[in-house]
A and B are shown apart, each in its own frame.
Chain A
Amino acid sequence: MKITSPKVSRRSLLRGSAAAAAASLAHARQVSAQNAPEESAFEAWIDLRLTVNGQAHALTVEPRVTLLDALRERMQLTGTKKGCNRGECGACTVLMDGRRVNSCLVLAASAEGRKITTIEGLADGDTPHPVQRAFAEADAFQCGFCTSGQIMSAMACIEEGHTGSPEEIREWMSGNLCRCSAYPQITAAVAAAAEELG
């Protein structure tokens, strides 16, 4: 690559990218990327397999589709909420291979083959999961918009063992904002659920 001042080149390269993007739409499935090392390596549509709450899903998405949008708009799993769509609020928290992540910061394409758990996957039939029950019993929400993210984050927080004190719970739950400010009740719910699940 004949690049002397890399960042400047990157920027000037960016200007050419509108044409490239248009070309990629024209070719629909496969982009024959100009100067790409392997002609077929870059794809404009991605075939995906995701396991969500134990159920296998197959779908085809544009690369820019996030895991959050795939869950909500392609699988109709609208329990996972979109708050900020910037990684800042935690409303979109799901478990990916058992670890909590912000689904608005994950491309659906990157989640290929992963096991996803959303709020819809917690209850056992009509019986809520102990963490769900703890939130209800502690009155840990008002409007409820942040709650599915809080509960998914709490699932992981408990599993990780970060529930030794109210301070520790608050620190490890800080990635979930609550505009209704139900924080004391959320902390109490996480502590109660941690104790029950012990």
Chain B
Amino acid sequence: MRDFSYARAGSRAEALDLGQADDAAFLAGGTELINWMRIGINAPARVIDLARVEGLDAVEEIEGGVRIGALARLNDVAQNPLIAEGYPVLSHAILRAASAQIRNLATIGGNPVQRVRCPYFRANEGAPCNKREPGSGCAALNGIHDRHAIFGWTEDCVAVHPADPPVALAALDAVIVTDHPEGGRLIPVREFHVLPSQNPAWHDVLRAGELIVGIELPAPAPRSAYLKIRERESYEYATVSAAAALEMDGGVIRRARVALGSVAMRPWRLVAAEARLAGLAPDAPEVADAIDASFAEARPLSGTEWKVRLARNAARRVIELAAEA
């Protein structure tokens, strides 16, 4: 790891101020950044440690919902009663991510900023990869890509975003709140990650020096669930994941919000399916047809055809799980 110089921010204002330095990176839990610096994905000259910033780690009720401070550790978010009871989809998504000790370090603000797990992107030696070296090409397109996209890819990048919590947050219509010396923003989680058609080299829309201060959740969604399909039962990234938040009228769906994870470069909301799910019982056979409406736009790679059926079935099952929540 190349060395860097280091500063601790004691407050949000200080973090923003330090964030204006050239070639600086924020360090929150460090569970991604430290590995990037080891592999050579990133080699900032300056690191700003956010761990001592006061007041950014609370989980609290706000008008109409809940605000989670960006520096709250994943385990603390998932086990907070406001989240565990009001938003089970988020609690489950978090508790199925990484391991108990990683979740004691990893923050909810850093989690969506994690980068793709594509083996070419993570390689020590340079394979062509537009996300590592813009313009160098995409080794996965005609290489190993059996864990890659089925939606929204281009020939410039076929990777998926691997994180779990943002899939739940997308189903909940959560908003990422940022601050920046030139003004903060409210970024819907659904628009936080960048599709390759927008820019294959980017992961997300954060600007240099832009600080995530929190994530805001709208009204509680007690009838919600997360399903993570993976090659081993624990401590593994998703092959496909699915999040659902339902509002019910008796035994019938009034409103459904469904998102898939690890199928595209961002959490993939099944918008067409959601419109057709209203009025159906969660276990009605027509649910499968409703979901199919969203798979009309699925475009698997040669290696990811198997993920289409997996994703479709995951969507169906997560709707039933949410109804039982």
1/0 per residue, CB under 8 A from A, across B28-43: the answer is 0111001101100011
- Name the segment of B94-102, B254-262, B268-276 touching the other chain: B94-102
Minimum CB–CB distance from A109 to chain B (whole Å) comes to 5
Number of interface residues of A (CB under 8 A): 61
Minimum CB–CB distance from A37 to chain B (whole Å) comes to 5
Interface residue ranges of A17-58 to B (CB < 8 Å): 17-18, 20-21, 24-25, 31, 33-38, 41-44, 46
Residues of A within 8 A of B286 (CB): none
Contact of A1 among B2, B4, B208 (CB under 8 A): B208
For residue A8, CB closer than 8 A to chain B, the reply is yes
Measured CA separation A106–B31 after assembly (Å): 8
Known: A66-B34, A110-B27. A17 touches B44 (CB 8 A): yes
- Name the segment of B14-22, B166-174, B239-247 touching the other chain: B14-22
Known: A86-B35, A175-B98, A175-B99. A14 touches B105 (CB 8 A): no
Asked if residues B99 and A174 are in contact (CB atoms below 8 Å), the reply is yes
Minimum CB–CB distance from A98 to chain B (whole Å) comes to 10
Asked if residues B30 and A110 are in contact (CB atoms below 8 Å), the reply is yes
Contact of B5 among A31, A85, A157, A176 (CB under 8 A): A31
Asked if residues A34 and B22 are in contact (CB atoms below 8 Å), the reply is yes
Contact of A101 among B3, B42, B105 (CB under 8 A): B105
For residue A82, CB closer than 8 A to chain B, the reply is no
Asked if residues A172 and B7 are in contact (CB atoms below 8 Å), the reply is no
Measured CA separation A16–B23 after assembly (Å): 8
Residue among A16, A100, A104 with most chain B CB within 10 A = A100
Identity of the chain B residue whose Cβ is nearest the Cβ of A86 in the assembled complex: B35
Measured CA separation A145–B322 after assembly (Å): 42
Residue among B31, B42, B99, B235 with most chain A CB within 10 A = B99
Asked if residues A21 and B45 are in contact (CB atoms below 8 Å), the reply is yes
Residues of A within 8 A of B43 (CB): 14, 17, 21
Contact of A106 among B105, B202, B203, B210 (CB under 8 A): B105
Contact of A37 among B20, B102, B104, B235 (CB under 8 A): B20
- Name the segment of B46-54, B85-93, B141-149 touching the other chain: B46-54
For residue A74, CB closer than 8 A to chain B, the reply is no
Measured CA separation A174–B95 after assembly (Å): 12
Residues of B within 8 A of A101 (CB): 101, 104-105
Chain B residues touching A, range? 35 or more
Residues of A within 8 A of B1 (CB): 64
Identity of the chain B residue whose Cβ is nearest the Cβ of A34 in the assembled complex: B22
Known: A20-B23, A21-B2. A13 touches B37 (CB 8 A): no
Measured CA separation A21–B43 after assembly (Å): 10
Known: A41-B18, A105-B34. A175 touches B6 (CB 8 A): no
Minimum CB–CB distance from A130 to chain B (whole Å) comes to 20
Minimum CB–CB distance from A32 to chain B (whole Å) comes to 10
Contact of A171 among B4, B98, B101, B234 (CB under 8 A): B234
Asked if residues A64 and B23 are in contact (CB atoms below 8 Å), the reply is no
1/0 per residue, CB under 8 A from B, across A162-176: the answer is 100000001111111
Residues of A within 8 A of B105 (CB): 101-102, 105-106
Measured CA separation A105–B102 after assembly (Å): 8
Residues of A within 8 A of B203 (CB): 7
Measured CA separation A183–B52 after assembly (Å): 37
1/0 per residue, CB under 8 A from B, across A143-174: the answer is 00000000001001100101000000011111
Contact of B235 among A14, A17, A44, A175 (CB under 8 A): A175
Residues of B within 8 A of A10 (CB): 23, 208
6 nearest interchain CB pairs? A175-B99, A63-B6, A174-B234, A6-B207, A20-B45, A42-B5
* 4 further A-B pairs in the complex, CB-CB below 8 A; given A42-B5, A153-B101: A6-B208, A43-B6, A102-B101, A105-B29
Which residues of A are at the interface with B, using a C-beta cutoff of 8 A?
1, 3, 6-11, 13-14, 16-18, 20-21, 24-25, 31, 33-38, 41-44, 46, 62-64, 66, 85-87, 90, 93, 99-102, 104-107, 109-110, 112, 153, 156-157, 160, 162, 170-176
Pick 25 A–B contacts, CB within 8 A, sort by A.
A6-B207, A8-B201, A16-B45, A17-B2, A17-B23, A21-B2, A24-B45, A31-B5, A33-B5, A37-B17, A38-B17, A42-B46, A64-B2, A64-B37, A87-B102, A105-B31, A105-B35, A106-B105, A107-B49, A109-B6, A110-B27, A110-B30, A160-B100, A173-B100, A175-B98
Which residues of B are at the interface with A, using a C-beta cutoff of 8 A?
1-8, 17-18, 20-23, 27, 29-31, 34-35, 37-38, 42-47, 49, 51, 98-102, 104-105, 134, 181-182, 199, 201-203, 206-210, 233-235
